[in-house]
Amino acid sequence: MPTDNIEEIKSKVDVVDLVQEYIQIKPAGTNNFKANCPFHHEKTPSFMVSRDKQIWHCFGCGEGGDIFSFVMKMEGLEFPEALRVLAKKAGVELQYRDPALNNQKTKLQDICRYAAEFYHKILIDHPKAQPVRDYLKKRQVKDDTVETWMIGFAPDAWETLHDFLIKKGFAEEDIFLAGLTVKKERGSGYYDRFRNRLVFPVRDPHGTIVGFGGRWLGPEKAEAAKYVNSPQTLIYDKSYILYGYDLAKQAIKQEKLAVVVEGYMDCIASHQAGVENVVASSGTALTLGQVKLIKRMTTNVAFAFDQDIAGDTASRRGIEVAWQEEMNTKVIRIAGAKDPDELVKKGAELWRQAITGAQSVMDYYFTSVLGKVNLKKVEDKKSAAKTLLGVIAKLADRIEQTHYLQKLSTALNVPEDVLRDTLNKVKVRPGASAAELPPSAQLRDRFTTIGESLVGMAMQFPSLLPKIVDQLPLEYLTDVKLQNLYKRLIVFYTEKQTFDYETFVKALPEEDKNSLTYAEILSLRATHDFPDPDPDVLDVEVRIGIRELKKRHVQAELKSIERSMRQAESKGDTVEAEAQGHKFSELASELQRLEE
Ligand SMILES: [Zn+2]
């Protein structure tokens, strides 16, 4: 039964371990952890994960939930896909009979898996694949490497894969949507996209195959591109996938460094040589999504591009994206070989040394740009300044910026403030503007937040309960959900004359799931706000909080009295108007006292 599956998965996947695979978290009290929220831009952590409660919540943007909602939100998945991801993690066999647990995306994933197995099997034992096996041997690709990366061979034919998948029961249209076939230009029908190619399955961060890259194996000819890749599909979002990431992520975390190479073979050769913190960008500029994948594991990234980066706009753009995310970026120089694959073959040690010797991108730019100009010529000086200032402007860190301005000033023999003037003209400031914040963070009612904080404190630090219950009447809270929870809290406490959180939560009625989740979130919030609670601090917080809510309550009262007063006046009811006026002035002076 699917619900059993879900419960089983929940019991096997710990929310803290799960979140840790995506973002870096720090302990905050017993069994709680905090982090900068992955769902909104922030500098101080308001994202909390609780091991006891098995929930996560952000007090900045209000997002929160369990392991399923975390994976869905983090990866942009629908429930059925998130279920697969977590089932795999939990080692739980899913019961697929329930159609609700399959969707279009999981169907395309199945098609890709069958296709990969098909290509792989052909490479392993089909007689026609002998030249391909020879080719791999020549390139020193070992058998278990072929296995690990599920490398395959697409035979030189038009419909082999298509027919195989149809026999497996998949619809023609779905095979096309998985990116494996191409529509015939004339007539109807489809033909295989990959023909006579070495095929590299591309996997998402969980190891699910979502697309393919195919390297041409025949003689060089104009109509056959060296590489053919799957198109963007429902499951293959190229800007969120790095080749090899699923196999590299643990090593990246351990080494605290991600190495980005260009080609599939560079990546595979490096892994085979035991250097596993390596992923391939497949030759395009690194996207924000890809940088974020890396950032889950480390903030250090080193690029090994085949070309001179300073002259190559695609690699430069990728580096700038990494900077925006405040990553430490370096460049690996490949000396004496055309690419990492070749360098690894000359000796894994050489490749390791190249990685260790990686230069900071800025130093690399300086060497590269200044190496090409004659600084005695004004024109050269100007162009070098322009190029390098353009890059310095993109640095997110001010201190770093100043450092390189000084360096440039020395190198060009131009005063620093002249350079800084020019810099300010080209400057594009990174970082979040108010418009980028989620609307919930902007619109969040300050008073609801205060009320939530008080109720959370009452549950988390029961010694405060008598005072809160005594001085915070229900009507001071305007949010219905919060009122409802607080009502239950008052009733519970008044009945028992004592309070403990566990019993309270257990006593919440089954049908009131909202209050349960809400209670968990609010008490978690209190532990977040007050990691080591000092009774005096708590006392002050409660007093200020209640006073703020009371002020708001009195102000609202005043408005309503004012309305009644006007109404009475317009009806000519002077007695009533006077009575209201009296009430008004009494309350107004109370408000004044509160504001003192
Ligand atoms: Zn948030």
Task: Output the CA 572–ligand 1 centroid distance in Å.
Answer: 54
**221 Cβ contact partners less than 8 Å away, ≥ 6 residues apart:** none
Phi/psi at 287 (nearest 5 deg)? Answer: -95, 170
Q: Which amino acid is at 59?
A: F
Residue 476's alpha-carbon distances to 202, 378, 470, in angstroms, are: 56, 71, 12
**336 Cβ contact partners less than 8 Å away, ≥ 6 residues apart:** 343, 346, 350
- Please give the Cα distance from 365 to 307 (Å, whole number): 13
| Angle at CA of residue 347, ends 346 and 349, nearest 5° | 145
- Judge contact between 520 and 513, C-beta under 8 A: no
Task: Output the CA 57–ligand 1 centroid distance in Å.
Answer: 8
- Please give the Cα distance from 477 to 480 (Å, whole number): 8
Task: Output the CA 36–ligand 1 centroid distance in Å.
Answer: 8
Task: Output the CA 285–ligand 1 centroid distance in Å.
Answer: 28
Residues in the chain: 596
> DSSP assignment, residue 375?
T
Task: Output the CA 283–ligand 1 centroid distance in Å.
Answer: 33
> For 387-427, where are the E strands, in sequence order?
none
Q: What is the pLDDT along the chain (596 residues), one digit of tens a residue?
A: 456 788 889 989 999 999 988 888 999 988 899 999 988 888 889 999 999 889 999 988 889 999 999 999 888 777 888 888 899 889 888 766 566 666 778 889 999 999 999 999 999 999 999 999 999 999 999 999 999 999 999 999 999 999 999 999 999 989 998 999 998 888 888 999 999 999 999 999 888 999 999 999 877 776 678 888 898 888 888 888 999 999 999 899 889 999 999 899 999 999 999 999 999 987 677 888 899 889 888 899 999 977 666 556 667 778 888 887 888 899 998 888 889 999 999 999 999 999 999 988 888 888 888 888 888 888 888 888 888 888 888 777 788 888 999 999 998 888 888 888 888 776 543 333 333 333 333 334 678 888 999 999 999 999 999 999 989 998 899 888 898 899 899 988 888 888 988 899 888 887 777 788 888 889 888 888 887 788 888 888 898 899 889 988 888 888 888 888 777 877 888 888 888 877 887 788 788 777 76
Distance, C-alpha 240 to centroid of its chain: 10
Dihedral (Cα; 527, 532, 535, 538), 10-degree rounding = -40
Task: Output the CA 214–ligand 1 centroid distance in Å.
Answer: 40
What DSSP string describes 167-231? HTT--HHHHHHTTSEEE-SSSS-EEES--SEEEEEEE-TTS-EEEEEEEE-S---TTS-SEEEPP
> DSSP assignment, residue 142?
-
Task: Output the CA 51–ligand 1 centroid distance in Å.
Answer: 19
pTM for the full predicted model: 0.61
- Please give the Cα distance from 197 to 414 (Å, whole number): 55
Which residue, chain included where needed, has tokens 């990691």? 531
* 3-class secondary structure, 568: helix
C-beta atoms surrounding 579 within 10 Å: 15
C-beta atoms surrounding 366 within 10 Å: 20
Task: Output the CA 259–ligand 1 centroid distance in Å.
Answer: 29
- Please give the Cα distance from 149 to 124 (Å, whole number): 13
Task: Output the CA 389–ligand 1 centroid distance in Å.
Answer: 34
Bridge partners, residue 260, by sequence: 279, 303
Kind of pairing between the strands at 209-216 and 227-229: antiparallel
> Among 473, 478, 519, 525, which residue's Cα sits nearest to residue 499?
519
Residues with CB under 5 A from ligand 1 (ion): 37, 39-40, 58, 60-61
